[in-house]
Amino acid sequence: MSGGIEITFCRQCKNALADLKIIEAEIEETAKRADWKVRKSHEKIKAGISACPNACAAPQIKDFGALAFIIPEVDRKRCTACGMCVQACRENAIELEEYPVFSEKCIGCGDCMRACPSEAISGQVKFRILAGGKLGRHPRFAEEVLIADDTNSIADVFSQIVKISMENKMRFSHIPGCVDILKKRIRG
């Protein structure tokens, strides 16, 4: 934590899809540079970064959040149609035909990938970036503002949230229309 910014990172367990060390350094550097002073705990800008969809850092209820996920892809030449991926999927998102077919229920956790004995399932790591979540008297889940292919976008969006908060002299999620303001900035 740096001053008025509270950042929670997941602990990088066996479910981690991404290494958060680089993004952790970038986010903490942005927080150190920010001159965001608060008098009360509830005025802090809160951020949560998770390395998988289990979201242990609770990004859905923070001013800023990011969570890693994959979009699974099947190498049909390697797939033996053994069904281990179907058994591993807690979302019931896989139908086994000649090879696994993923439904919209897939959250990108990677359990199927880890369970596949022939290593036929892979996927590119992406990040779901969320903003505007909060608890309290008027709770609200954060909204998805961007799907990012790299960690640079995470640091850029976090930096924008800090700037918007400083311009409005108010914690991001307390600013009326905060997510719309952010979307306009990041989309140009």
* Nearest 10 degrees: Cα torsion 159, 24, 172, 37: -90
Report domain 71-122's class. alpha beta
Take residue 85 and report the two structure tokens written for it: 């991926």
Annotated domain spans of the chain: 5-69+125-187, 71-122
State the Cα–Cα distance between residues 145 and 129, nearest whole angstrom: 6
Question: Is the model's pTM score more than 0.85?
Answer: yes
Hunting for tokens 């600013």 — which residue is that?
A: 175
Q: Per-residue confidence of the chain (188 residues) as pLDDT tens digits?
A: 457 899 999 988 999 999 998 888 888 888 888 877 787 878 889 999 999 999 999 999 999 999 999 999 999 999 999 999 999 999 999 999 888 899 999 999 999 999 999 999 999 999 999 999 999 899 999 999 999 998 889 999 999 999 999 899 888 988 989 999 999 999 87
Report domain 5-69+125-187's class. alpha beta
- Amino acid letter for position 17: L
